[in-house]
Structure 1
Amino acid sequence: MPYRRCGNSGIMLPCFSLGLWHNFGQYDNFANARQILRTALDLGITHWDLANNYGPPYGSAEEVFGRIKNMDFVPYRDELFISTKAGYDMWPGPYGNNGSRKSLTASLNQSLKRMDLDYVDLFYHHRPDPDTPIEETVYALDSLVKQGKALYVGVSRYSEEQTAKAHALFKELGTPFIIHQSRYSMLDRHIEEGLLDCVGEHDLGLIAFSPLEQGMLTDRYLKGIPENSRASNQHSYLSESLVLDNQETVVALAEIAHQRGQSLAQMALAWLLNDQRVTSVLIGASSPQQLKENVASTEKLEFSESEQQAIRAILTAHSSS
């Protein structure tokens, strides 16, 4: 597993990190979740990413992780880099959401209990809160570091301007603010319009989530919508109309991937890592085998000039359509 330095910090993150958003809830298969984590560590994936409301139900992914950690990974705690987040809806009432000092402190305390940890390696504010001054959020995160409950802090979904302001405040406080987590994929390149330059300018790491667009950037939808797929489920984030609207682009990208000897998913992951400002790519997995297949993309991270030109042409046409 290749590792990259996270901004100008001392932390090295694996090129692929494991997200526990899916397949680690209360209703998922516990044995499968356990085997995914065991496989991840065997593959060199030392960074595991959670949030207070991952599940379902909310909190259950942290609880499942805590159970598996106590079964298998206590001897390896110092080899693991565990992150969690707060800022989205978690519990009813005025303090179960957003970015106040009260909310962030209560949420991290609850997360530590669910995971049976003394501290997390990284604590994120999950999204900007328009109703709380950014200064309050920054001071709350700084306080949690000073209390020893988090070693580092990060933000997610912040704009370029919000990230720059948070960076300035953290720098003044001496807080180890090291990373921005943002949605980024071949089909969603909005961070190229300023945020990538911002994290580079301020020596921050960047970790990309939803790199496969909920499965759209895989070989699964090349011929339409399979039965029992995520897009065929009306409760899924991925809709049939979204898949069909992007199918022409996906098919064109898949042709390049197959010429490279990769699956579309493997090429889409490798493409993100082609930018050195991307520290790590956050991947999910429904099985150990799927995790192994995605990690195999590290075997071919380089792109020829002709491949890059062909991909740029497809993505430019997609952006203008």
Structure 2
Amino acid sequence: MEEIDLSCEFLGKKLNLPLVLNAITGGTPRAEDINYHLACIAKKYGMAMAVGSQTISIDDPGSASTFRIVREINPTGVIIANMGAGRPVEDALAAVEMINADALQLHFNVPQELAMREGDRSFKGIIDNVARIVKECPVPVIAKEVGFGFSRESVSLLYGAGVNIIDVGGMGGTNFIVIEDKRGGMFGGELDNWGIPTAQSLAEVLSLGLPLTVIASGGIRTALDAAKALAMGADLVGIAGSFLKVLLREGADVLDNVVANMVYRLKAVFLMTGADNIERIKTRPVIITGRTGEWLKLRGINPEWWARR
């Protein structure tokens, strides 16, 4: 097992693990404490980390320290800024500068906004705005869904706007429509199952055959989940909610143990499939059946490609 190499290069830096500790929080004293502990974990295990939406720090500069703590803890690690895809270019650039980010994550959360009583209702020109940000931003831009998944049509538009890193953010993890429903949102529970599941979204993006770096996220909870995503073709895997729950309920030491166990189990899956690195596991057969297989066939994507490679 000691010969299993889980390392990868991302944003010009080496990661020990193909994991992104994905955007969670920021802007409050409690958020600063959460970000502190998550940054410590990311640094210890050599993971990338994305902060939560920095919009609050643009409107309230005094909250910037809750995000800067991540870079202070991990000065040489891969740290990713976060801003809504519809925000002005100057806000996006400020988010990057705030934490000396290695990349900028632009999040797309249209269903959540529509579920919020106080949310946005117009998204006209968002692709043009993304293109402007890509042009002006000094670091790579990542397009990230937040739990509803990207279709291949959406990714084609984003690629045309200059984005070449996609975080699929599929359905299966944190459900922001349900969260807004609990706050008295607009959907009343009718659209709780809206979205493209993570496996289907990942397959759609990969089927384009574009020169993209692809991050699989959305309900990734176990080492086996991560291994399946990597075997399908993801370059990295994003995890957020499951780690946050452990941190809040059981503390930083337990989270440390959870991550250590995940690393061991991920290596075990690699070993059991005869893969000694990430590129090798991408060559292993993946059997896609059931609802996911049916989805792919109806979308003109042949699941046999994964099964017979």
Tell me whether the two structures share a fold, i.e. TM-score over 0.5. yes
User: In the alignment, is residue 38 of structure 1 matched against residue 40 of structure 2?
Assistant: yes
What is the total number of aligned residue pairs between the two structures? 227
Q: What displacement does 1:120 show?
A: 1.9
* Conserved 8 A contact 1:52-1:111: no
| Distance of 1:194 and 1:282 partners within structure 2 | 17
Task: Give me the CA root mean square deviation.
Answer: 4.0
Alignment of 1:144-223 (within 5 A): 144-145=137-138, 151-157=139-145, 158-170=150-162, 177-184=163-170, 188-192=198-202, 194-198=204-208, 201-212=209-220
Greater Cα shift, 136-145 or 29-38:
29-38
From 266, 275, 278, the counterpart of 2:234? 278
Provide the rounded CA distance (Å) in 1 between the counterparts of 2:261 and 2:171: 18
In the TM superposition, what are the counterparts of 1:300-315 in structure 2 within 5 Å?
300-302=268-270, 312=288
Q: Is it true that 1:64 corresponds to 2:20 in the alignment?
A: no
Tell me, yes or no, if structure 1 residue 132 matches structure 2 residue 129.
Answer: no
Going from structure 1 to structure 2, the CA distance change for 1:192 and 1:36 (only over 3 Å counts) comes to closer
Q: CA deviation at 1:316?
A: 5.4
Q: In 1, Cα distance between the equivalents of 2:140 and 2:286?
A: 39
Q: CA deviation at 1:84?
A: 2.0
Q: AA paired with 1:64?
A: T
Structure 1 distance, partners of 2:34, 2:93, is 28
CA distance in 2 between partners of 1:301 and 1:68 (Å) = 31
Unaligned segments of structure 1, at least 5 residues? 88-97, 146-150, 171-176, 218-264
Tell me the equivalent position of 1:143. Answer: 136
Whether contact under 8 Å (2:6, 2:267) holds in the other structure is: no
Return the TM-score normalized by structure 2.
0.58
Q: Aligned AA for 1:124?
A: Q
**Whole-Å Cα distance in 1 between the matches of residues 238 and 63 of structure 2?**
16
Partner in structure 2 of residue 3 of structure 1:
7
* Residues 155 and 32 (structure 1), Cα distance of their counterparts in 2 relative to 1, 3 Å cut: closer
TM-score by length of 1: 0.56
> 1:205–1:279: 8 Å Cα contact kept in structure 2?
yes
The Cα of 1:126 is off from its aligned counterpart by: 1.3
Residues 14-53 of structure 1, C-alpha deviations (whole Å, 9 max, x = no match): 411212405x6635375564343223212121x1112325
The structure-2 alpha-carbon separation of the partners of 1:125 and 1:68, relative to structure 1 and needing over 3 Å to count, comes to closer
Name the amino acid aligned to 2:160.
A
Question: Match of 2:280?
Answer: none
Which of the pair has the greater relative contact order for Cα pairs under 8 Å at 6+ separation? 1
Which secondary structure state, in structure 1, belongs to the residue aligned with residue 103 of structure 2?
A: strand
- Which of 8, 15, 20 aligns to 1:17? It is 20
Distance 2:137 2:142 in 1: 12
Query: Deviation at 1:207?
Result: 0.9
**Tell me, which stretches of 5 or more residues in structure 2 are unaligned?**
111-121, 173-196, 248-254, 275-283, 296-309
1:284-295 alignment, distance < 5 Å: 284=240, 285=243, 286=247, 287-295=255-263
Q: 1:20 to 1:161 in 2, by over 3 A?
A: closer
